[in-house]
Amino acid sequence: MNYSNNAFFRDDDPENNTYLLQQSWVSFDFPQTLGVRLVDGRFFSREYGTDSTAVLLNEAAVRSMGLKEPVVGQYIRQPSGPNQFQRYKIIGVMKDFNITSMHKAIDPACFSVLYPGGGDQFATIRLSGKNIPATIKAIENTWKTFTPTQPFQYEFFTDSWNNLYMSEIKTGKIFILFSVLAIFIACLGLIGLVTFMTNKRTKEIGIRKTYGASVKVVLNLLLREVAYLILIASVIAYPIDYFGSKYWMEGFADKAQINPLIYVLSTIIVIIIGFLSISYQTIKAASHSPADALRIE
């Protein structure tokens, strides 16, 4: 795929405003190979001879040029010489996708078909993922059949993608590691806190049992206290997490939306862990007879 920034004009614009589009010259099946999705229209086809003067626009280009619905079937113009223009028919609108880095906003772009022998330099092949070594060997043999003097070189798109976002991948792994450690330490702290509270109130549990309190009453008493502490900790942690995530997302053009359910779910999980810990410790403390509980120092 060869691409460059070129000037285009709307065919129906009397003011001849200039619109800069990232024009890419691609083969017939290139968009389908990369999994490009269409919002409207069709892809390039060998069945249409007029596709040599046809283009595919992405949604960003449609917005940039202010094209009105229906977009498919309209024409745009590109300068081809002094007072000369090449008219291109829009045959399809592609859903926006990142051509360059995800740190940059999606550029207005268009695809023009590159006919065989028109200067294509690379072959893009979509693999099924099965028996990759044998598939690559077959591709190499086919390559040598057509260009025996040119060395066969290849690279996987996933490798290029991973190299491009290596720092983000490493940062994500570090965040996951420290998050797991933080959750583990927090769980240990919560269990330790519950154990300390239960042991400290063993006499109180014994007295309440003497006056006829059930295990459920004692459990609710301790759970309410721990729940308050969890909610206070959540109120402190949520703003820090939200603004930290928002600051990290500023480095990307397309920002993922932070779902508030994540915070609710995390609080529920912590409360469940606290409930299980309190239940175990309360049942353990309640198993002592009131007389033994009152003798515990």
pLDDT surpasses 80 at 162: no
- 177 and 120 inside one domain: no
Mean pLDDT along residues 140-153: 84
- 192 and 283 inside one domain: yes
Q: With a threshold of 0.85, does the pTM exceed it?
A: no
Q: What pLDDT, on the 0 to 100 scale, is given for residue 94?
A: 92
Confidence of residue 142 (pLDDT cuts 50, 70, 90): confident
pLDDT surpasses 80 at 23: yes
What are 248-282's pLDDT values in tens digits?
776 666 666 777 788 788 888 877 877 777 777 77
- 101 and 86 inside one domain: yes
Beta carbons of 261 and 224 less than 8 angstroms apart: no
User: At 40, is the secondary structure helix, strand, or coil?
Assistant: strand
Average pLDDT, the chain: 79
Cα–chain-centroid distance for residue 74? 34
Domain end residue (candidates: 115, 142, 162): 162
What are 98-109's pLDDT values in tens digits?
776 666 778 888
- 24 and 109 inside one domain: yes
Domain end residue (candidates: 133, 162, 191): 162
Q: Total domain count for the chain?
A: 3
pLDDT surpasses 90 at 56: yes
* H or E element, residue 248: helix 215-249
pLDDT surpasses 60 at 120: no
Beta carbons of 87 and 52 less than 8 angstroms apart: no
Q: What pLDDT, on the 0 to 100 scale, is given for residue 294?
A: 53
Higher pLDDT, 245 or 250: 245
- 86 and 116 inside one domain: yes
pLDDT surpasses 90 at 93: yes
- 184 and 230 inside one domain: yes
Domain end residue (candidates: 140, 162, 184): 162
How much of the chain, in percent, has pLDDT values that exceed 90? Answer: 9
- 231 and 146 inside one domain: no
Convert 113-124 into a string of H (helix), E (strand) and C (coil): ECCCCCCCCCCC
96 conformational bin, left if phi > 0, alpha if psi -120 to 50, beta if neither: beta
- 149 and 268 inside one domain: no
Higher pLDDT, 168 or 43: 43
- 60 and 8 inside one domain: yes
Token reading at 101:
């880095």
- 171 and 153 inside one domain: no
- 287 and 195 inside one domain: yes
Q: What pLDDT, on the 0 to 100 scale, is given for residue 31?
A: 87
Instruction: Print the domain residue range for 138.
Output: 125-162
Q: Is 97 exposed, middle or buried (0-12, 13-18, 19+ CB in 10 A)?
A: middle
Beta carbons of 85 and 9 less than 8 angstroms apart: yes
pLDDT surpasses 90 at 7: no
- 240 and 180 inside one domain: yes
What are 165-180's pLDDT values in tens digits?
777 778 778 888 887 8
**Terminal-to-terminal C-alpha distance of the chain:** 79
pLDDT surpasses 70 at 291: no
